[in-house]
Structure 1
């Protein structure tokens, strides 16, 4: 991927000699290039998207097509990551369930207020600790998956086959920088949300292309922030709209998949109104299974959409479609 023309940023492109005002050689002489024929240029589509600025529907369709063309890589990797993170998260939280259920069933006639507060504090602290560890595991898994999918989509755009080992070898050097960039951008967005929700959303969209820039351009963390800002500037609303559409699609799919597991979990508890019923081991196991299945579908889709937004922005703002056409073997176009 790093050797593929077109992925490097404009600042990384080698300088080409410029010869202004030099007339082209006469027809039939070496170096002569005939002018392009009249009419619109033919659409070049070596991979999952046409190599030209994309419509919104083409971005969504390209993400779905990538999942269908590389199911073992995308869906398989997502299934493994979702299973590992969700199961480990469940195992981390299970030891604290007894404290929470004990708090909910305390009898005020048999315990003092101080004992109840101690039990409540212990239960909440333990559960929050388990939740924090679960979120950290999910973050690491999601960062790995998004970077891995970025490499696969980069190949899919050019219609090139890629194996797991090849994608991993290309992504491996970028894993720690991507994790650091994700944590830093998450901190910036969180601060923006705390100050006011709107600045948090604005910053989140502005830096939404950090991952693809860092992985595909193989640049540093600071440069990735600058690249994302430069690409989104002037197209913030379009980028926001596409990300929102992808989030809605993912949310609907996740809800549809998770609903049967939630109903089965409620059925195991007899549809009890007791709030502690949702904390039973059976309910949590079923909800975890539902989350694994849903994440297996939604995480690759969202990541692929994000990468294709990056590709579209580069084709629109930097003319990268020409470089990609050459890389795909259409240098004469």
Structure 2
């Protein structure tokens, strides 16, 4: 079974033999050793040295282009399943919502209107909760799966779906727990005040690659992310924010034509508020969401992994270890 290179942190024991399913260990970085001089070593999608912002973005795009069947294919399947199931969950409640939107105040008492609105809202929120759970599960799988692929792509190593899944499978449940904890922490921070929420979002933004590649526990992954971001919060914030903006723009450009077609078919341009609850409109919106998610989710996941690699190369000398793993300088 092919394995990604050893991503163990400097704090992990180096003399223990790897257990089954673990990545081989290459030892603690040699901080006094300098990388080979001359042209940058680039066996994979990035040069094995501290990266510029443009190189991180380009590396993410290159990874998607180099492994299209694995990354785009997996993203398309996950997006289609989660979005279609989410739509099917919402459809039974559309009639109730439409009835509430189109209520005639001249023939309906205030109490009747309140009761209808409450019933429709409860049903819609229940369906929305199921949709959010499906989206969460799909996002967790995709982010972890892509993390493994990017780990191979950094060294230009070939990887199959079976190999990537075999490496990621033991990390699925821990990653789900870490994702839920991350969402809870950042949500509480945002509720208390926007600034703490954003600070926590950036400080723990590298939890996924730390947990998957280093094969550590949930609490250790949060500690690793904090340690790697510490001292480079603003740079990390800028790259993550840029990734969000790029993803939002791409998603908007891709989904806009489908929304326009859906509005045209459902009569949305006639200012009818019930048109956005028309199944035709929602179907086209779902198609747009599937296509945009197929592009934006892998892109943001790949950027996060490469940002993690960059932080390790800058703060822990990981570039030397990666060069050794790539066959430059020996192990």
TM-score, reference length from structure 2: 0.91
Give, in whole Å, the separation in 1 of the partners of 2:197 and 2:83: 27
Match of 2:161 in 1: 164
Give, in whole Å, the separation in 1 of the partners of 2:35 and 2:248: 46
Match of 2:299 in 1: 301
Cα deviations by residue, 1:246-268 (Å, 9 ceiling, x for unpaired): 11111111111001001101110
- Going from structure 1 to structure 2, the CA distance change for 1:243 and 1:39 (only over 3 Å counts) comes to closer
Match of 2:195 in 1: 198
Match of 2:308 in 1: 310
How far is the alpha carbon of 1:6 from its aligned partner?
Answer: 3.9
2:232 counterpart (216, 224, 235): 235
Give, in whole Å, the separation in 2 of the partners of 1:38 and 1:327: 13
- Confirm or deny: 8 A CA contact 1:93 1:130 kept in the other structure: yes
How far is the alpha carbon of 1:109 from its aligned partner?
Answer: 2.5
Give, in whole Å, the separation in 2 of the partners of 1:219 and 1:310: 15
Give, in whole Å, the separation in 1 of the partners of 2:303 and 2:4: 21
1:285 counterpart (274, 283, 286): 283
Greater gyration radius: 1
- Going from structure 1 to structure 2, the CA distance change for 1:37 and 1:261 (only over 3 Å counts) comes to closer
Give, in whole Å, the separation in 2 of the partners of 1:125 and 1:11: 49
Which consecutive unaligned segments of at least 5 residues does structure 2 have? Answer: 17-32
- Going from structure 1 to structure 2, the CA distance change for 1:118 and 1:10 (only over 3 Å counts) comes to same
- Confirm or deny: 8 A CA contact 2:87 2:286 kept in the other structure: yes
Give, in whole Å, the separation in 2 of the partners of 1:82 and 1:4: 26
Q: Secondary structure at the match of 2:70?
A: helix
Give, in whole Å, the separation in 1 of the partners of 2:103 and 2:15: 74
- Confirm or deny: 8 A CA contact 2:71 2:298 kept in the other structure: yes
Structure 1, 66-75 or 264-273: larger mean CA deviation:
264-273
Cα deviations by residue, 1:214-236 (Å, 9 ceiling, x for unpaired): 00000000100000000000001
Give, in whole Å, the separation in 1 of the partners of 2:233 and 2:169: 30
2:329 counterpart (324, 328, 331): 331
How far is the alpha carbon of 1:110 from its aligned partner?
Answer: 2.2
- Going from structure 1 to structure 2, the CA distance change for 1:38 and 1:101 (only over 3 Å counts) comes to closer
Q: Secondary structure at the match of 2:11?
A: helix
Is the counterpart of residue 9 in structure 1 residue 9 in structure 2?
yes
How far is the alpha carbon of 1:15 from its aligned partner?
Answer: 6.0
- Confirm or deny: 8 A CA contact 1:151 1:216 kept in the other structure: yes
- Going from structure 1 to structure 2, the CA distance change for 1:314 and 1:39 (only over 3 Å counts) comes to closer
- Confirm or deny: 8 A CA contact 2:2 2:159 kept in the other structure: no
- Confirm or deny: 8 A CA contact 1:148 1:168 kept in the other structure: yes
* 1:21-40 to 2 correspondences below 5 Å: 40=37
Give, in whole Å, the separation in 1 of the partners of 2:95 and 2:3: 55
Is the counterpart of residue 102 in structure 1 residue 103 in structure 2?
no
- Confirm or deny: 8 A CA contact 2:210 2:224 kept in the other structure: yes
Structure 1, 37-46 or 142-151: larger mean CA deviation:
37-46
* 1:102-121 to 2 correspondences below 5 Å: 102-121=99-118
- Confirm or deny: 8 A CA contact 2:155 2:322 kept in the other structure: yes
TM-score, reference length from structure 1: 0.91
- Going from structure 1 to structure 2, the CA distance change for 1:10 and 1:39 (only over 3 Å counts) comes to closer
How far is the alpha carbon of 1:13 from its aligned partner?
Answer: 4.8
Aligned residues: 314
How far is the alpha carbon of 1:192 from its aligned partner?
Answer: 0.2
Give, in whole Å, the separation in 2 of the partners of 1:37 and 1:189: 39
- Going from structure 1 to structure 2, the CA distance change for 1:61 and 1:13 (only over 3 Å counts) comes to farther
